[in-house]
Structure 1
Amino acid sequence: MEFCDECGSMMKTDDGVWVCGNCGYEKPRDAANESHMTSTAAREDSEIVDMSDVDDAEIGPTTTVKCPECGHDKARYEMKQIRSADESETRFFTCVECGHKWREDDH
């Protein structure tokens, strides 16, 4: 992963250069430096996981929270770190009644 020297955004490769999608800054790629980077390319042996036969109780814990769609008071939840490590995790909810999904951020 490479970050922009100008604005700090994550850069993407375009042939022989790194390009910032935010400000357009470009810099040449360095093969020696990139040899230490980890690739996030999809694995060829990965497959889709069929969750249709999984009992709702096995998917995750539930909590008491009001669904903004149907008003039901119970939802499954999971926590994920989607921002920088020094910020709190984001809670993702799925209503057990209607299946509506939403998220709640700590600020």
Structure 2
Amino acid sequence: MKFCPRCGSIMLLQHKNKGKVLKCLKCGYEEKNIGGENEVKVQPRKDKSKILVIDKDIEMKIYPKINITCPRCGYHEAYYELRQMRSADEPSTRFYTCVRCKFRWKEDE
């Protein structure tokens, strides 16, 4: 794994002009892949344990509902959650997800 010398982000191996380069997706810095320490090796996963995938529809059902109009589809009901996005002395932000179209929007309190 190599980190960008400019911004510190992880650099990814990309194919370019019949060669390989390491590129930072954040700032665009590129470096030729000389091999050795930058060589990418793919190993098959030995752990065959299952990965849990959570269905978004099931996940949303744990949130309370409120009567509010969706700005996208006009439906009258949405799930909501409160999150503290700013400092503790600031009010929390309310996130809504439309029950029908799953559109997500926020409202600062």
What TM-score do you get using the length of structure 2 for normalisation?
0.48
What TM-score do you get using the length of structure 1 for normalisation?
0.49
- The structure with the larger Rg is 2
